């Protein structure tokens, strides 16, 4: 069977709660985020996934993703990978969309990128690197990362332009699964937060 890629977004932080663009700033998890990471881990270690015994795990090295990975019970199996770091928001780091739109009406990161940060082309290249790695694997892979980069990976897995990521909502501590259907890249599940209802 062709491999799947499981995408785990990090738990809630103060900045994600307030809507601030959190790129490379190392913001810690809130208690709610730590609780969510443990619940995600319980889900990943329960049937039908059963701890994904053969899965290859990689994580963004940023603290919020690494801690989510650790609390979910995969820290000892995970390799840090800079390619999974969040979009570098440059001059927009720490700003909310409303604050950005006040000075730049109509701005959309998926189309316009950010000043002094990563371009759409640069993020596309990173997402493509993750997709190529996952597709070349001989087993399922699991990544712990961030909202915009995971949405980018989702778009590129499907062979769509990065701008499609604007249509893919992704909540903190969500689980998404990308795989195959009829030989074509497919979404098995997206933005699943059922484990947080516990």
Query: What's residue 169's pLDDT?
Result: 94
What structural domains does the chain harbor?
5-197 (3.40.50.1240)
54 is in an annotated binding site: no
Q: Quote the mean pLDDT of the chain.
A: 94
pTM value is 0.95
- Given the DSSP bridges, would you call strands 56-59 and 175-181 parallel, antiparallel or unpaired? unpaired
Q: Active-site residue 86, yes or no?
A: yes
Of 10, 21, 146, 148, which residue is the catalytic one? 10
Banded model confidence at residue 198, pLDDT cuts 50, 70, 90:
low
Q: Are 152 and 124 a contacting pair, CB within 8 Å? A: yes
Is residue 92 part of an annotated ligand binding site? no
188 a catalytic residue: no
Q: How far is CA 77 from the centre of its chain?
A: 18
Active-site pick, 86, 118, 146, 195: 86
Q: Is 22 annotated as a binding residue?
A: yes
């Amino acid at each position: 069977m062709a491999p799947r890629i499981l995408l785990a977004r990090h738990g809630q932080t103060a900045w994600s709660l307030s809507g601030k663009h959190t790129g490379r700033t190392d913001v810690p998890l809130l208690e709610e985020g730590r609780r969510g990471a443990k619940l995600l881990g319980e889900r990943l270690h329960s049937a039908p996934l059963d701890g994904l015994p053969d899965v290859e795990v990689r994580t963004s090295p940023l603290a919020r993703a690494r801690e989510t990975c650790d609390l979910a019970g995969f820290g000892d199996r995970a390799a840090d990978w800079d390619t999974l770091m969040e979009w570098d928001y440059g001059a927009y780091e720490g700003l909310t969309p409303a604050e950005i739109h006040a000075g730049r009406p109509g701005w959309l990161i998926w189309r316009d990128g950010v000043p002094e940060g990563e371009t759409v082309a640069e993020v596309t290249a990173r997402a493509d690197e993750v997709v190529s790695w996952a597709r070349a694997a001989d087993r399922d892979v699991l990544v712990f990362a961030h909202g915009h980069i995971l949405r980018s990976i989702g778009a590129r897995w499907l062979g769509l332009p990065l701008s499609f990521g604007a249509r893919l909502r992704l909540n903190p501590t969500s689980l998404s699964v990308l795989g195959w259907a009829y030989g074509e890249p497919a979404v098995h599940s997206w933005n699943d937060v059922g484990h947080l209802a516990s």
